[in-house]
Amino acid sequence: MLRFRALALLLLLAALPALANDLTVGWISRSPELDYVWNSSNPRVEGWPAEGSSVTWRAHVRSWFDAPQDITYIWRLDGRELARGDAMIAPNATTQIELPQAWTFVRHRLSIEIDAGNRVAEESETNNALEVFTDALSAGFWVERSFYEWHRAHQQDLGIGSTSFENWAQRIIELYNDMAAMAVFAETPNGVVDRWRLQKIVVVPDGALPLVPPPDLRSRAGEPNGSTHPDMSDRSVDLEIGFQSVMLSEYANTTEWSLANPFAIAPVFIHELGHARYLTDVYAFSVGHNPPGRKIDVTGVPKLLDVYRTPEQGLMNRDWSFIDRYSAIALNRIAGARATRGNYNDPENVGAFLNDLPAQNRLTIRDAGGNLLRNASVDIHQAIPFEVNAWYAAHWDDTADLHLQTDDNGQVLVGRSPFAPDGRVMNYWRGSTTTAIVRVEKDGVVRFGYLESRLFNLAYWRGDTLFADHELVAGAPYCANRGPLLASPSWDAPEPGPFVTLQWNALDGATSYRVYTATSGGPPHLHGTTTALTLTLPLAGRTYWWVEATFALCTPMRSDLGRLNVQNRAKRRAVR
């Protein structure tokens, strides 16, 4: 099988088209390249340059010309010209253009534009500029040769001025940074604070990843591997990910410019980098029968694949184009901190926030109609981990772990952690104890509710560290956790403007729809609520948009992200 795959790959590469000449800004690194400090107690200082110390920014300019190219470059800081000069770009190589600066923790936008005089005729004239956040967390991308060359050969098929792996990689970084700005919730009024910057691209031979194999290589359903741990000995970056040649089978579609095509835009890798930052999978808070990982033997709970879906949508669930509230708060919990216990997927501190739980918690239990379930019998069934080799394995058996009763107010105290016998919440290989099944019996009627430790975390982060109140609905209807599908405009569609009609598909049970937009790098704006499936708005420039469906008995559910370019404003020059 491996020999056949290698032969197929050789034939595929032999068929790559001949390419034109091009220059592009691949990435901007910072020197000195400092390692993060393992298990640092002060990672917002340790591993960063000292305030006022000298650093050097280096733009890595990739050439696919067979001859040297003499170009003019311009460095800008926060949009103002900072330095200008000429550089000779080496043929078929990467040339560095340097900018010395004094280091500050104050955030600035640093950019470089190459071939500013347009002296060089290129395959693409739209990928000659790149902007970074100076205080961003650093990321490293390790890529095997065939994967790298495949992107060079086919990125042009998208028709957007993208010509290389570097351009594709920068779109991942740019999308995350925009998602961070849009992740505005009550607990994160300024969105997710941190930004990302690509510090290095390391091209290696096919089959070389991982460069330093982890001791438990492929021990967890194929993980860790060359993608999750490309070089675990490298501590110079805060996030790392690998791209292996065997992944090319996922890239058959080279022409569709859409969020669903990983060759065009790849939010799935933002999800994986979220793990490298320490985030855990939110979809594991859901409850259902998903052999071999999940099993429910509680009498009365239906034998369905999905019994309960967590309403927490977003990046660490299965909606990769926006950051969920839970993960946004968790990210801000370590904002400004370098990696501390690994920069790979997963680090040793993955899910370190799961046990941020109030010392005492009280549930107010209601039925689906909002009626208090007073003096009702309450049985809590905790998930049993470690029974099978699967991600987030959990078994809810028919023996209740806690027997309680609500008082005259429909309330019951459940302690610090009703989720596991030892009180420890986990969400990892072979075990998830994040959600308990709650059986409530009142006047002979049995109802079930699902209690997530996520809610306890949210209360703790609000400041309710000693005592917190929570609402639990027993007998609530099943609610899916996917929002409406966006119909038009398509991703990055050029629109003449200034008025643009947004359209989406109906979602069963929805009572209304809220329409949001955001400019690139800006916060969200609610434009209005409608019962229709279209809304016409005055828009300008690059604009993100999404739709949130509201329901009578379920929490609101939002769509994936859309993006369009309204042509009544000058186009952005950089393809990132």
Sorting pLDDT into bands at 50, 70 and 90, what band is 497?
confident
287 domain-assigned: no
3-class secondary structure, 277: helix
204 domain-assigned: yes
Q: Which residues contact 219 (CB under 8 A, 6 or more apart)?
A: none
Q: How many CA atoms lie within 13 A of 349 on its CB side?
A: 16
Model confidence pLDDT, tens digit, residues 52-74: 999 999 999 999 999 999 999 99
- The total domain count for the chain is 3
Q: Is 159 found in the same domain as 223?
A: yes
Asked if the model's pLDDT at residue 13 lies above 90, the reply is: no
Q: Is 507 found in the same domain as 468?
A: no
Q: Is 237 found in the same domain as 144?
A: yes
Sorting pLDDT into bands at 50, 70 and 90, what band is 573?
very low
550 domain-assigned: yes
Quick one: pLDDT at residue 19? 58
Q: How far apart are CA 272 and CA 143, in angstroms?
A: 15
Q: Is 131 found in the same domain as 87?
A: yes
Q: Is 535 found in the same domain as 417?
A: no
369 domain-assigned: yes
Asked if the model's pLDDT at residue 41 lies above 70, the reply is: yes
CATH of the domain at 491: 2.60.40.10
Quick one: pLDDT at residue 289? 87
Q: Is 221 found in the same domain as 156?
A: yes
Quick one: pLDDT at residue 276? 98
End-to-end CA distance of the chain: 37
The answer to whether the beta carbons of residues 410 and 366 sit under 8 Å apart is: yes
% the chain with pLDDT above 70: 95
Quick one: pLDDT at residue 3? 35
Q: Is 265 found in the same domain as 154?
A: yes
576 domain-assigned: no
Model confidence pLDDT, tens digit, residues 98-141: 999 999 999 999 999 999 989 999 999 999 999 999 999 999 99
Q: Is 257 found in the same domain as 381?
A: no
DSSP state of 342: -
Across 451-484, b (16+ Cβ under 10 Å) vs e yields: bbbbbbbbbbbeebeeebebebbbbbeeeebbbb
Q: Is 511 found in the same domain as 468?
A: no
Q: What's the average model confidence in pLDDT over 73-86?
A: 98
Q: How far apart are CA 13 and CA 18, in angstroms?
A: 11
The backbone region for 575, taken as left when phi is positive above 0, alpha when psi lies in -120 to 50, beta otherwise, is beta
% the chain with pLDDT above 90: 92
pTM over 0.75: yes
Q: How far apart are CA 213 and CA 215, in angstroms?
A: 6
Model confidence pLDDT, tens digit, residues 289-312: 887 799 999 999 998 889 999 999
Mean pLDDT of the chain: 94
365 domain-assigned: yes
Asked if the model's pLDDT at residue 6 lies above 50, the reply is: no
Q: Is 529 found in the same domain as 401?
A: no
Quick one: pLDDT at residue 303? 87
Q: Which residues contact 175 (CB under 8 A, 6 or more apart)?
A: 265, 267, 270, 321
Quick one: pLDDT at residue 7? 41
Which one of 442, 473, 504 terminates a domain? 473
- DSSP class per residue in 353-366: TTT---SEEEEEEE
Q: Is 537 found in the same domain as 453?
A: no
284 domain-assigned: no
77 domain-assigned: yes
Q: What's the average model confidence in pLDDT over 512-527?
A: 96
Residue span of the structural domain in which 252 resides: 20-277
Q: Is 548 found in the same domain as 446?
A: no
CATH of the domain at 428: 2.60.40.1120
Query: What backbone phi and psi angles, to 5 degrees, belong to 420?
Result: -155, 150
Residue 43 one-letter amino acid: P
Q: How far apart are CA 565 and CA 167, in angstroms?
A: 19
Which one of 416, 443, 473 terminates a domain? 473
Q: What's the average model confidence in pLDDT over 433-456?
A: 98
Asked if the model's pLDDT at residue 501 lies above 90, the reply is: yes
Sign, Cα dihedral of 374, 379, 385, 390? negative
